[in-house]
Amino acid sequence: MVGRRRNTRRSSVGQLLLAALMIAISLVMLYPIYNQLVISLTGPEFIAQADGSTIIPRGFTLQTYAGVLSIPKVYRGLFNSFFITFAGLLVNVTLTSMGAYVLTKRDLLGRNIFMSLIVITMIFEGGLIPDYFLMKNLGLLNSYTSVIMYKAINPYYLIILMRFFDKVPKSLMESARLDGCSEIGILFRIVIPVSMAGIATISLFYGVFHWNEYFRAMIYLTDEARYPLQVVLRELIVSMEKASFVGAKNYVQMSTRAAALDFKAIKAALIILAIVPILLFYPFVLKYYVKGRLQGAVKE
């Protein structure tokens, strides 16, 4: 991503036009998100007038967030999403590291066969319905295991991690082996600590995937209390009405908070809640994810 200056004639008018175009593109990217933020922060007395052209939240309030977070579906959804993401990450990183470590041993007997067996799954897949039947037959429907284990190892990320592990000095591993360290010990005490950039890269890949995943959760989980935030948000977007979302019972009970909220304010607040964790990690995303994308693109 290093920019380079060229010793060509600089046309300042051209640069100005280019800058204007780029700023316009950036605005198009940000404005739709910003608009949701504005709507989610608009006070109840002004919410009816708030629309796509509202730039400043009138009657600024955090009431919508307080109200939305008092809906059981929403706070459970947030908790479920965090749980699935972290448990998933633990499984992803452990299994992918184990696979990547062993498969970087080029002289392992059968290594190419194992590698092919893994790469084949990038091209061939059983599909949605056989996947569903597998979960059913394993008794994993409505269990978090089905969601956590879905794409537990992404072959593409495994190959990227192998590139990082390849760079670990052989001498480091050899001396640990001479000191009587086991292979598992070498992986977890030497290879992983030395390849933290690689671990960070695949963690972000997997983390973003888990946080944004909704479809498998929606079909595998039958108990609504287990839904992650994305499924809850989807339900709200598809249902297009408040009563069914907040729940008829809750509607009466929580008359002061959730029921008083405007539909579009609820929706906007949920959208922002689903984006915030991504924004919190965005500096790391820019640092590692982008590089990882390029590493994955390098042909072998």
Per CB under 8 A, which of residues 92..121 are in contact with other proteins?
95, 98-99, 101-103, 105, 107-109, 114, 117-118, 121
Residue placing its CB nearer to other proteins in the complex, 187 or 254: 187
Tell me which stretch binds other proteins (CB under 8 A): 58-66, 162-170, 253-261, 289-297.
289-297
Position 193 contacts other proteins (CB under 8 A): no
Q: Which of 74, 71, 50 is nearest to 60 (CA)?
A: 50
Give the residue with the Cβ less far from other proteins, 1 or 248.
Answer: 1
Q: How far is CA 120 from CA 113, 125, 133, in A?
A: 11, 9, 21
- Residue number, 13 or 248, with CB nearest to other proteins: 13
- Phi then psi dihedrals of residue 104, to 5 deg: -80, -10
Contact string 125-164 vs other proteins (x = CB under 8 A): xxxxxxxxxx---x----------xx-xx-----------
List of residues 6+ apart from 276 with CB closer than 8 A:
none
Q: Does 270 bind other proteins (CB under 8 A)?
A: yes
The reply to whether 187 sits near other proteins by the rule CB under 8 A is yes
C-beta of 107: minimal distance to other proteins in Å?
A: 8
| Cβ(181)–Cβ(51) below 8 Å | no
Structure tokens that stand for 9 in this block: 């004639």
Tokens (6 digits) for 96: 């992918």
For other proteins, how many residues bind (rule: CB under 8 A)? 94
- Rounded to the nearest whole angstrom, what is the least distance from the CB of residue 38 to other proteins in the complex? 11
User: Does residue 52 interact with other proteins by CB under 8 A?
Assistant: yes
Say how far apart CA 1 and CA 267 lie, in whole Å: 36
Residue 179: CB minimum distance to other proteins, A: 15
Q: Which is nearer to other proteins, 75 or 114 (CB)?
A: 114
> In Å, how far from its chain's centre is CA 230?
11
Candidate residues 36, 64, 80, 201; the one interacting with other proteins per rule CB under 8 A: 36
Type and span of the H or E element at 73: helix 72-103
Minimum CB–partner distance for residue 105 and other proteins (Å): 6
Letters for 232-251 (x = contact with other proteins by CB under 8 A, - = none) are -xx-xx--------------
Q: Applying CB under 8 A, which of residues 3, 13, 179, 241 lies at the interface with other proteins?
A: 3
The one segment of 30-38, 60-68, 164-172, 245-253 that binds other proteins by CB under 8 A: 30-38
Contact status, residue 272 vs residue 36, Cβ threshold 8 Å: yes
Nearest residue to 104 (alpha-carbon basis) of 20, 162, 157: 162
User: Could you give phi then psi for residue 150, rounded to 5 degrees?
Assistant: -65, 120
Closest CA to 160 of 281, 286, 294: 294
Token pair 């598992």 is found at 184
